[in-house]
C-alpha cells in the first residue's frame, strides 16, 4: 500500500484534489487498493477551499505514516502565505516520506521549508517570477508541466497536477497502467514533464475557424511538405488571402508555425517512443535528421539526443 497525504491550507485550490481521481482509477485498473489517501492540515478540522466551502482534514504530523505528501497550492501564494508550521512539518516529514510534491503554487510551501534549494522546479507560469525573486537559490523552469528532482516533485498550475499524478502512477506501477488511467479519465494525452505549459496550438491562438482548420490539417499531416498552397486549400482561401490572414491572426508565417508544430511533435515522439531519430525526423516532416537537429537547437537550445537522454534518465 502507498499512502498519500494531501496537505491543505485555507484557500487551497480545489483542482489539487482532482488528482485523487488518478489514484482512485489506478486502484481500479490493477484491481487492488494500492493507493490510500487522506486529507491533512496543520490544525486538522475544516479547511476552507478556494471555492469557499469547508473540507474536513486530520492533524498532520511529521511522523504521520505518509509515503507521498501532496501540497495543494492557493490562488495567490504571495498574499495568502501558508502557516509557518506547515513548512516546518514538511521539512521534518521529508525524512520519512518517499517523495514530496507541490501542486501548482504548492511549490512555494516546499521552498519555504528549504526543500527546493538548488533544485530544478516548476510552478504556475503566473507566479514563476515571484518564486524566483523570493527564492533565488531555486532553479525555476517556468515552462514545464512538471519536474522531478530527486525526492521533490513540482507541477505547473491547474490540470498539470493530473500529469504529475499520472507520472507517479507510472513510476509506482507501470506505463500501461498510467495510459489506461489517462484513457479512463478522457485525457487527450499523457503529457511528459518536459512538455511546455503552453502547447503550440495555444500559442498560435487563431481567431477564425479557417485558420484553425488549416492548423488542424497541418498538425494531422506533418509528414507532408505543407506549403502555403496546400494549407490555403485546407482553409478554403486563396494563397495570398491565407498568408495575409495567417500573419494577422498568429503573428507568424505559415512556414514558421508549421516548423513549431513539427518541433513539438518530434520532441514528444522522442520522449515517448524508441523510434530512431531518422524515423522521428521523417514522421514529423523534417528534411532529414540534420535538419531536425538544427531546428531543435534554434527552438529549444538542445539537441534531439539530449531530449532523449533526459527522457530516459531515472
Residue 98 lies in a domain: yes
d(CA 307, CA 265) in angstroms, rounded, equals 13
Q: For residue 252, give the DSSP letter.
A: S
Residue 190 lies in a domain: no
**Structural domain range at position 102:** 2-184
Residues 224 and 178 in one domain: no
How many Cα neighbours within 13 Å face the side chain of 170? 18
Residues 54 and 95 in one domain: yes
How many CB atoms within 10 Å of residue 266? 24
List Cα–Cα distances, 116 to 131, 153, 233, in angstroms: 11, 10, 51
Q: Residue 196: its pLDDT value, please?
A: 54
How many Cα neighbours within 13 Å face the side chain of 274? 0
Residue 194 lies in a domain: no
Q: Residue 199: its pLDDT value, please?
A: 60
Residues 132 and 216 in one domain: no
3-state DSSP call for residue 261? helix
Q: Residue 310: its pLDDT value, please?
A: 75
Tracing cell 538542445 back to the chain, one arrives at 302
Q: Residue 83: its pLDDT value, please?
A: 81
Q: Residue 289: its pLDDT value, please?
A: 95
pLDDT tens digits for the chain (314 residues)? 999 999 999 999 999 999 999 999 999 999 999 999 999 999 999 999 998 999 999 999 988 899 999 999 998 888 877 788 999 999 998 888 999 999 999 999 999 999 999 999 999 988 988 999 999 999 998 778 899 999 999 999 888 999 999 999 999 999 889 989 998 998 855 555 555 554 666 567 788 889 989 998 998 899 999 999 999 999 999 999 999 999 998 888 999 999 999 998 998 889 878 899 999 999 999 999 999 999 999 888 889 998 888 777 64
Q: Residue 314: its pLDDT value, please?
A: 47
d(CA 265, CA 118) in angstroms, rounded, equals 31
d(CA 161, CA 122) in angstroms, rounded, equals 11
d(CA 242, CA 240) in angstroms, rounded, equals 5
Cell of 2: 502507498
Residues 159 and 265 in one domain: no
Are 156 and 197 a contacting pair, CB within 8 Å?
A: yes
Helices (H), 94-204: 107-112, 128-134, 160-172, 175-184, 200-204
Residues 143 and 286 in one domain: no
Residue 233: is it exposed, middle or buried by C-beta count within 10 angstroms (0-12/13-18/19+)? middle
Residues 178 and 302 in one domain: no
Domain count, the chain: 2
Residues 174 and 204 in one domain: no
Q: Residue 180: its pLDDT value, please?
A: 92
We report the CATH number of the domain holding residue 157 as 3.40.50.880
Contacts of 279 (CB under 8 A, 6+ apart): none
We report the CATH number of the domain holding residue 203 as 1.10.10.60
List Cα–Cα distances, 153 to 81, 100, 121, 175, 307, in angstroms: 20, 6, 8, 18, 19
Domain boundary among 184, 216, 238: 184
Residues 127 and 268 in one domain: no
d(CA 97, CA 119) in angstroms, rounded, equals 18
d(CA 309, CA 312) in angstroms, rounded, equals 5
Cell of 298: 534554434
Are 72 and 106 a contacting pair, CB within 8 Å?
A: yes
Residue 193 lies in a domain: no
Going by their DSSP bridges, the two strands 152-155 and 146-149 should be labelled as antiparallel
Amino acid at each position: 500500500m502507498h499512502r498519500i497525504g494531501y496537505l491543505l491550507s485555507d484557500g487551497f485550490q480545489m483542482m489539487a484534489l482532482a488528482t485523487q481521481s488518478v489514484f482512485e482509477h489506478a486502484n481500479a485498473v490493477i484491481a487492488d487498493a494500492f493507493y490510500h489517501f487522506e486529507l491533512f492540515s496543520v490544525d486538522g478540522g475544516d479547511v476552507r477551499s478556494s471555492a469557499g466551502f469547508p473540507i474536513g482534514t486530520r492533524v498532520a504530523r511529521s511522523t504521520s505514516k505518509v509515503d507521498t505528501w501532496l501540497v495543494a497550492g492557493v490562488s495567490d501564494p504571495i498574499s495568502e502565505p501558508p502557516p509557518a508550521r506547515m513548512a516546518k512539518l514538511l521539512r521534518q516529514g521529508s525524512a520519512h516520506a518517499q517523495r514530496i510534491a507541490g501542486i501548482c503554487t504548492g511549490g512555494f510551501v516546499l521552498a519555504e521549508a528549504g526543500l527546493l534549494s538548488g533544485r530544478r522546479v516548476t510552478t504556475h507560469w503566473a507566479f514563476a517570477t515571484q518564486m524566483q525573486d523570493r527564492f533565488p537559490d531555486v532553479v525555476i523552469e517556468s515552462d514545464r508541466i512538471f519536474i522531478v528532482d530527486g525526492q521533490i516533485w513540482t507541477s505547473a498550475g491547474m490540470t498539470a497536477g493530473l500529469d504529475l499524478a499520472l507520472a507517479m502512477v507510472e513510476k509506482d506501477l507501470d506505463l500501461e497502467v498510467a495510459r489506461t488511467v489517462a484513457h479512463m479519465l478522457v485525457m487527450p494525452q499523457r503529457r511528459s514533464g518536459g512538455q511546455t505549459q503552453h502547447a503550440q496550438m495555444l500559442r498560435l491562438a487563431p481567431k477564425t475557424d479557417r485558420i484553425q482548420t488549416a492548423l488542424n490539417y497541418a498538425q494531422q499531416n506533418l509528414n507532408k511538405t505543407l506549403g502555403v498552397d496546400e494549407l490555403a486549400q485546407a482553409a478554403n482561401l486563396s494563397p495570398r488571402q491565407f498568408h495575409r490572414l495567417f500573419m494577422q491572426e498568429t503573428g507568424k508565417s505559415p512556414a514558421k508555425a508549421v516548423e513549431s508544430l513539427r518541433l513539438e511533435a518530434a520532441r514528444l515522439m522522442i520522449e515517448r517512443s524508441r523510434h530512431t531519430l531518422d524515423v522521428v525526423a521523417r514522421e514529423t516532416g523534417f528534411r532529414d535528421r540534420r535538419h531536425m537537429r538544427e531546428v531543435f537547437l534554434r527552438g529549444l537550445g538542445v539537441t534531439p539526443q539530449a531530449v532523449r537522454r533526459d527522457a530516459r534518465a531515472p
